[in-house]
């Protein structure tokens, strides 16, 4: 019986080859779109694809350039086009950051990113990719923001190149309308790449192409940079590290659902980090786990790390023997492929549910989308997570209920002296008592000041934080100043002990802690 990485050789071979065929046009397109060139896209796919497969935590994952990362690199390349070393230094440092994130075991935190944030972010990325390709699709020269690109395309529409538009339209028709039977055999992007290039060559279209692709592997080069540039490099590196990590781990979750296995989040981050460090040293664009390539690999039979290695080996063979032909690929064809990629990234699942979606989720999704498109990717995710947390806290706070009950309202109160009954109030707190709801305690203080004893029933509190403890402290101190005795009920001793340690033991005696309403009333009766 075969063991190790060769247990699924036939499936891995087919999966790796299929993923490599699909990766080729995307690597070239995203490399060109990044501003670093087609070769950088291919190198990134080869290097990160192989090293992440070997060292990562998701055996079936195929890594390479992706839309979100390409958008970041493109924006940096537009500003620092004369200094590629700065970009590669940022890519190298992003790999270091990913390794650090893996070592400190923050990989599973991606599970706490709310879906509306992911939805708005991915739809925003899809919109950016589409907007950035409009000018290339029309054969127009332009560098700038996505929105500026749209404005330029509208203004310069009469100057569009006819041959470029024809190639772009042909590409869109192929990637969208290729019959499924054919698509299962040959990926539509590859068909578009080959057919579009043949048409441009045969009919001698005067259109822009991707240019020369080196047939040899690049030399190892450490990206030199000035110390004064470190302030520019670090934010870029952090952005790439966070985006790459999120993208890779989300793809890993998809891989888990398809293979019924479980990935290792932190190991995956370390593997991606190793790959990106190596990519930077060899002139490759930053890469991460790629959703479509991973899904294709799995559906084609890939199950082990060997499939990712085969994917990279196939790309090496292609650039070694077919680089001259690839250099003639028109940019319009790549633009058409990328427009399809952008459209595919948009989250239609959420969009279809917009009318029925909760208002808060819709607000978060739209805000993240707008910030992503018009401002900054990381800022968008940060704002989305913070806003989601605040809205969630507000919603949970609304579910926290404080009721005031007099002793006479209880069923079994006959053993309480009549002169005490009208001077005892029970404050029932139900729900989660935390920073978002702790202020509810202060709002009810005036309602209990006329009593001699106030019993604070915390037995139904589902969770407490330090804000809740401080709110209880304020309640106790305020009532004590009015000569009102306070008894606090907890449903278990561990909670009582931990609450005491947080400061309540300094202001309230142990006899004023109880574990049931009956215990609390007995304590009142004995005083």
Domain spans in the chain, listed from the N-terminal domain onward: 8-390, 401-526
Nearest to 398 by CA among 367, 360, 364, 362: 360
Structure tokens at 505: 């033991």
Which of 104, 5, 40 is CA-nearest to residue 285? 40
CATH architecture of 401-526: 2-Layer Sandwich (3.30)
Q: How is 67-125 classified by DSSP, letter by letter?
A: HHHHHHHHHHHHHSTT-HHHHHHHHHHHHHHHHHHHHTT-GGGGGGS-HHHHHHHHHHH
Residues 6+ apart with CB under 8 A from 506: none
Average pLDDT of the chain to the nearest whole number: 86
So what's the pLDDT on residue 146?
84
31 pLDDT higher than 60: yes
Task: State pLDDT tens for residues 166-206.
Answer: 999 999 999 899 998 888 788 888 888 889 999 999 999 98
**Structure-token pair, residue 48:** 């990160």
User: Are 354 and 98 contacting, i.e. CB atoms less than 8 angstroms apart?
Assistant: no
Main-chain phi, psi angles of 257, to 5 degrees: -65, -30
Compute the half-sphere exposure of residue 30: CA atoms within 13 Å on the CB side of its CA: 31
Q: What is the pTM assigned to this prediction?
A: 0.73
Specify burial of residue 161 (Cβ count, 10 A radius: 0-12, 13-18, 19+). Answer: middle
Output the pLDDT for position 99: 97
Q: Is the pLDDT confidence value at 415 over 70?
A: no
**For residue 87, what are the contacts with CB-CB under 8 A and spacing of at least 6?**
36, 73, 76, 77, 80, 223, 236
Please give the pLDDT value at position 527.
Answer: 63
| Summary count for the chain: helices (H), strands (E) | 22, 7
Sign of CA dihedral 330, 334, 336, 337: positive
For residue 416, is pLDDT > 80? no
**Of 342, 395, 340, the residue nearest 364 (C-alpha):** 395
Give residue 85's pLDDT.
Answer: 93
Q: For residue 379, give both structure tokens.
A: 């800022």
- pLDDT at position 3: 43
The per-residue pLDDT for 102 is: 95
Sign, CA torsion 179/184/186/189: positive
pLDDT above 90: percentage of residues in the chain: 33
- Which range (71-75, 149-153, 156-160, 215-219) has the least confidence? 215-219
Contacts for 214 with CB less than 8 Å, ≥ 6 apart: 39, 319, 323
What's the pLDDT tens digit per position in 47-56?
Answer: 999 999 999 9
Q: 112 pLDDT exceeds 80? A: no
């Amino acid at each position: 019986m075969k063991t190790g990485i060769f247990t699924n050789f036939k499936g891995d071979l087919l999966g790796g080859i299929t993923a490599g065929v699909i990766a080729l046009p995307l690597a070239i397109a995203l490399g060109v779109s990044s501003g670093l060139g087609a070769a950088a896209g291919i190198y990134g796919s080869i290097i990160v694809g192989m090293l992440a497969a070997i060292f990562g935590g998701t055996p079936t994952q195929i890594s390479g350039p992706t839309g979100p990362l390409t958008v970041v690199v493109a924006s940096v390349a537009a500003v620092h086009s004369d200094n590629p070393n700065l970009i590669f230094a940022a890519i190298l440092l992003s790999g270091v950051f990913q390794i650090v994130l893996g070592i400190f075991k923050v990989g599973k935190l991606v599970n706490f990113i709310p879906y509306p944030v992911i939805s708005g972010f991915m739809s925003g990325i899809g919109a950016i990719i589409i907007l950035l390709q409009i000018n290339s699709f029309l054969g127009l020269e332009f560098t700038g923001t996505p929105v500026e690109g749209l404005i330029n395309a509208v203004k310069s529409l009469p100057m569009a190149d006819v041959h470029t538009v024809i190639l772009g339209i042909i590409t869109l028709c192929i990637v969208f309308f290729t019959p499924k039977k054919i698509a299962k055999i040959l990926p539509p992007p590859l068909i578009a790449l080959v057919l579009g290039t043949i048409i441009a060559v045969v009919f001698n279209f005067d259109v822009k192409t991707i240019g020369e692709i080196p047939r040899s592997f690049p030399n190892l080069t450490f990206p030199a940079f000035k110390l004064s540039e470190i302030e520019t490099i670090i934010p870029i590196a952090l952005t790439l590290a966070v985006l790459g990590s999120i993208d890779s781990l989300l793809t890993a979750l998809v891989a888990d659902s398809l293979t019924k296995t479980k990935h290792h989040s932190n190991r995956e981050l370390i593997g991606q980090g190793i790959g990106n460090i190596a990519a930077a040293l060899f002139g490759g664009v930053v890469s991460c786990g790629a959703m479509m390539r991973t899904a294709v690999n799995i559906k084609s039979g890939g199950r082990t790390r060997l499939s990712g290695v085969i994917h990279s080996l196939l790309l090496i063979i292609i650039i070694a023997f077919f680089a001259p032909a690839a250099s003639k690929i028109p940019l319009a064809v790549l633009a058409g492929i990328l427009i399809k990629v952008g459209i595919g990234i948009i989250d239609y699942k959420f969009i279809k549910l917009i009318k029925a979606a909760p208002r808060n989720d819709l607000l978060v999704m739209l805000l993240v989308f707008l910030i992503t498109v018009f401002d900054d990717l990381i800022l968008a995710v940060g704002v989305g997570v913070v806003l989601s947390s605040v809205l969630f806290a507000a919603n949970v706070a609304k579910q926290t209920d404080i009721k005031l009950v007099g002793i006479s309202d209880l069923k079994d109160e006959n053993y309480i002296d009549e002169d005490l009954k009208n001077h005892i109030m029970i404050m029932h707190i139900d729900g989660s008592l935390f920073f978002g709801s702790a202020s509810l305690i202060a709002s009810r203080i005036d309602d209990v000041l006329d009593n001699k004893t106030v019993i604070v029933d915390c037995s139904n509190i589902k969770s407490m934080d330090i804000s809740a403890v401080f709110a209880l402290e304020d309640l106790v101190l305020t009532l004590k100043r009015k000569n009102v005795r306070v008894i606090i009920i907890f449903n278990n001793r561990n909670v009582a002990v931990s609450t005491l340690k947080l400061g309540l033991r300094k202001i309230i005696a142990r006899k004023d802690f109880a574990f049931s309403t009956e215990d609390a009333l007995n304590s009142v009766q004995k005083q």
